[in-house]
Amino acid sequence: MKYTRIPHTDIRISKICLGTMTWGRQNNEDEAHEQMDYALDQGVNFFDTAELYPVPAKKELYAVTEELIGNWFKKTGNRDKVVLASKIAGPGHAAKHIRNTGFSRESIISAVDGSLKRLQTDYIDLYQLHWPERNTNYFGQRGYNAYVVDVWDDTIHQVLETLRDLIAEGKIRHVGLSNETPWGTMRFLEESKVHQSLPRMMTIQNPYNLLNRLFEVGLSEISMREQIGLLAYSPLGFGVLSGKYLTEVPPRKARVTLFPNYSRYSGDTAVAATEKYAQLAKEHGLSMAQMALAFVNTRPFLTSNIIGATSMEQLKENIDSINVNLSDEVLEGIEEIHKAIPNPAP
């Protein structure tokens, strides 16, 4: 395994992060525990979860993923071997069964306390805002709709004050963003620069993969200059970049098959790009999934690559991508495809 650090901290984390969003829906508890056992044995010490998981979110399954992780901590005593990240759900339809009060002080405190109880731990190493409170473009929206009325009041100072207090209590160690824009990222960073008693956002968890490299527009410069590390999610684009959907009959238990509304990476242009990446991998004797993951692993702004799997075979292949070195020829081939079909799946 290779390791990095959460920026501005001494916390050493694996460059491969174990994602958990399928646990409790596509994976049962035994399978989740098997994944954690294997990942830890392979040197993966960074796990990412959220109160919203498993997804697609469902009231009856609220926060089950955190409960499964907490049960594993209790069973194995491995809490001190893991750097643990979780998130508070933002407002909106996906989280209407959780709360409708956004990132108010009461909401954040309640969310942290709930996660700590379910995770059976006294602290969370990295606590993230899952998506913004305000109207902006995330979750597959290509551009910002300036015509949508947004009644959001700027609460960023108050949010950071609450997070500061939770850090002081020892309930969380550091904080991060998720699904954020360049404006939102800089707004948070500037607030903590001006008011130095407020905590600094250390990481940003956004989508990044061969079909969606929009992080490179604006956010990559912020990441490099401000040292806010990318935690790349969906590095395989819902599994599309494994090539498994390029068959006439889609895999029966796969995410996009089970949940057709997860179509962000399945449009005609995205399929055309995926076919080209599949051919490139084949020409160089590479697994398509490992080529896609290894590409993400090479990015200078990456802090950790969040992989996810529903089978042990997938998990082993994904973790092993850390040992794959892409040749200059492969990287040049990737850039040629990207120039021809740039960001087909935002």
Q: Which residues are catalytic?
A: 53
Beta-bridge partners for 344: none
The Cα–Cα gap between 137 and 248 comes to 33
The Cα–Cα gap between 48 and 340 comes to 34
Interior angle at CA 310, CA 202 and CA 128, nearest 5: 20
Tokens at 110, concatenated: 């309640």
Beta-bridge partners for 126: 85, 174
CA dihedral 113, 66, 262, 181 (to 10 degrees): 40
Q: Looking up tokens 């620069």, which residue turns up?
A: 193
Find, among 302, 307, 329, 326, the residue nearest to 241 by Cα.
307
Helix (H, G, I), strand (E, B) or coil at 255: helix
Q: Which amino acid is at 263?
A: S
Beta-bridge partners for 314: none
